[in-house]
Amino acid sequence: MKLAMVVPGGVDRTGEFRVIPVLLALIRRLACEHEVHVYALRQEAAADCWQLAGASVHNIGDGWSRLRAIRAIRDEHRRAPFDLVHAIFSGSCSFVGVCAAMSLGLPSLVHIAGGELVSMHDIGYGGRRFLKGRLREALVLRSAHAVTAASVPIIQSLEALGLQARRVPLGVDLRSWPAAPPRCRQHGPARLIHVASLNRVKDQTTLLRALAALVESGVDFRMDVVGQDTLNGEIQRMASELGLNGRVCFHGFKTQRELRPMMEEADLLVMSSRHEAGPLVLLEAAVAGVPAVGTAVGHIAEWSPTASLAVPVGNWAALAEAIARVLSDDTLRLRMAVAAQRRAVTENADRTARDFQALYLQLVAEGSGS
């Protein structure tokens, strides 16, 4: 089977920086059995091509990227026909994927993996903020032959819009990120970790206020914050103003190899996002034996209360209380860790690839029979 996959990025030629690990894991598995061409809309500014994870990556580059991506898919189809077009993320990716597929008479699949279904005007985030975007998204998703999403809350959001979708989590590659048994807490300060870019959607403001409340209540902890800073030091300044110096360490971006030992040393992953389709780091933490506390989005909401602990979005007091509760009861923390690991290991990258391939075969068969 020859597959066209449309992504915003996450497929850097280094295979290590500016990549989405679960996306590379999926591509690598698909490329073992199929000819895979990945069309990256915004990986680099200039158009170029390279090989990665067994697939051919076509970087579209700046300037009319959607139209040029559709043309690139059509050009490759003329060289040797595709069987299916798969968009990972909706928005521009689904527009390209579905339009290209329709023009070629091919089945199309869209995976919701970001904020395509939300509208957060106060932070300028979400694919449904404006009428034009809502109409385009509705038309594109209704034109796709199948829609998938990683977690139940996203499936429910799609159902509220009158769209049927299948749940397909983007699983962790257990070969490069192997499972480790959950461990008991050691003596000394609790080790917390937060892995996310510093931005409005991840809402580190709520996170820091929760941590300040923990200090006031006498909880002894250290937190590692891992992720690219997109707010020009705003979160670091807030941490200092809240008296968190010495307790919170900002590490910036870390590769998977650099992140792994930090994750293994953690007692608890803490997430404060206003929206998530996953988050993917929750799965990585679970595989590494680390449970999570966070706001009620994506997998955190889906897994709570047995395999995670979820609190209302934006509620820093509830987040602080949940962290303190888990840290004070190691039996609870370990029970959550075991349940989370069981879920994440079961729904690993191999399972993701199998689920998508089964869907590909179904869509291609339905298309050939019509």
- 328-340 mean pLDDT: 98
Count Cα atoms within 13 angstroms, Cβ side, for 254.
Answer: 19
Of residues 247, 265, 284, the one with CA closest to residue 186: 265
Q: How confident is the model at residue 7 (pLDDT cuts 50, 70, 90)?
A: very high
- 308-321 mean pLDDT: 98
As given in the structure block, the two tokens for residue 295 are 């706001």
Q: How confident is the model at residue 368 (pLDDT cuts 50, 70, 90)?
A: low
The predicted-structure confidence for 108-131, as pLDDT tens digits, reads as follows: 999 998 888 888 999 998 888 888
Q: Is the pLDDT of residue 370 over 60?
A: no
Cα separation, 327 vs 261, whole angstroms: 20
Q: Where are the alpha helices (DSSP H) in the chain?
A: 21-31, 65-79, 92-104, 131-143, 152-160, 204-216, 234-241, 256-265, 280-287, 298-303, 316-328, 330-346, 349-369
The predicted-structure confidence for 62-120, as pLDDT tens digits, reads as follows: 999 999 999 999 999 999 999 999 999 888 999 999 999 999 999 999 999 888 888 89
Domains along the chain?
Answer: 2-171+348-369 (3.40.50.2000), 190-346 (3.40.50.2000)
pTM (global) more than 0.75 = yes
The crossing angle, in degrees rounded to 10, of helices 280-287 and 330-346 is 110
- 324-333 mean pLDDT: 98
What mean pLDDT value characterizes the chain?
A: 95
